[in-house]
Amino acid sequence: MGPAAGPSSDRTRREPGPRDRHRSHSTTSKFPTDQHRTIQLHTGAVVKNQQATYLLSIKTMALNTLRRLLRKNSRTTLFLCSLLLWVGTLSHTIDVQPGQVSCFFEDLHVDDKMTITFQVGGGGHLDIDFWLNDPAGTHLWNVVKRDTGTFTFTATQGGKHEYCFSNAMSTVSSKTVSFNVYGVMWVVDDAHMAPIELEIKHLASALEAVKEEQQYIVVREKLHRNTAESTNDRVKWWSLVQTAMVLGVTAWQVFYLKRFFEVKRTI
């Protein structure tokens, strides 16, 4: 199995700074910085951006850290930590049509860390094929017919890393897939970081984990809601069919009994 040829996308990147840069990006989002990400999908893949929502726990954690920094009068670390307030939880969704493969690219440097999470929210048996290749075309991760998955890796070579969602096994049903890609770029040695910087780094990792869990809950809630609505529709239509059958049998019984009591006379 290999990635299908098709349109690709590159990420425009700035020159690395002296500190860690934590970044969570999506397929169509534009960030407040000059780092932009644009992804072009294969035929049949449609990107839908849903409304960003904020988690109360995320804001509470970030505000508590800001209070500690204010007491220390550290302007630099205060600025870095204030960036953590921009933690909107976006659900990025694509529709993979039957027999289609949707591929994306990430341009990474050596030692960049990246995490990919995905969940199938609708269509068929809620399964999809997924693989991740390094610039040399070697499979770093390959799963078949999975409804959800999470994979974290550290780039061992620079270049375009390709990941694809394949619905080639289906000839009828399209698949709705929600996914997110985020990571830590230009990682520096922890030994040269100040304690407050390490604390910010760990807090950012915790926020990413909370966001990932919240996205998973949103997808599962959508799936369960669709199942409940489908069950409700089936019960409704089956009740109507039963009502029609009862009325039909009743009408036939009345008609039959009337004929049974009729007196036939021969003249």
**What mean pLDDT do residues 67-72 have?**
54
> What digits encode the pLDDT tens for the residues 88-101?
334 578 899 999 99
DSSP state letters, 59-101: HHHHHHHHHHHHHHT-HHHHHHHHGGG---B--EEEEE-TT-E
Cβ pair 173, 98 in contact under 8 A = yes
Which residues touch 257 (CB under 8 Å, ≥6 apart)? Answer: none
Cβ pair 95, 174 in contact under 8 A = yes
Residue 242 has pLDDT above 80, yes or no: yes
For position 126, what pLDDT does the model report? 84
* Percent of the chain with pLDDT strictly greater than 70: 60
| pLDDT bracket for residue 46 (50, 70, 90) | very low
Phi, psi dihedrals of residue 165, rounded to the nearest 5°: -110, 120
* Token output for 148: 């959800």
| pLDDT bracket for residue 72 (50, 70, 90) | low
Residue 8 has pLDDT above 80, yes or no: no
pTM: predicted TM-score of the whole model, two decimal places: 0.48
**What mean pLDDT do residues 120-125 have?**
84
Specify the 3-state DSSP secondary structure of 200: helix
- List, in order of start, the domains of the chain with CATH numbers: 21-222 (2.60.120.680)
Distances (CA, A) of 215 to 3, 45, 53, 69: 26, 20, 10, 29
- More confident of the two residues 167 and 230: 167
Question: Cα–Cα–Cα angle for 130, 28, 180, nearest 5°?
Answer: 40
For position 257, what pLDDT does the model report? 86
For position 101, what pLDDT does the model report? 92
Cross-strand bridge partners of residue 166? 101, 129
For position 35, what pLDDT does the model report? 35
Most confident of 49-58, 61-70, 123-132, 212-221: 123-132
| pLDDT bracket for residue 32 (50, 70, 90) | very low
How many whole angstroms separate alpha carbon 61 and alpha carbon 261? Answer: 84
Residue 41 has pLDDT above 90, yes or no: no
Phi, psi dihedrals of residue 10, rounded to the nearest 5°: -120, 160
Cβ pair 102, 130 in contact under 8 A = no
* Token output for 207: 């926020």
**What mean pLDDT do residues 45-66 have?**
45
- More confident of the two residues 135 and 221: 135
**What mean pLDDT do residues 242-264 have?**
87
Cβ pair 81, 201 in contact under 8 A = no
For position 164, what pLDDT does the model report? 94
**What mean pLDDT do residues 239-252 have?**
94
For position 226, what pLDDT does the model report? 80
Radius of gyration of the chain (CA): 28
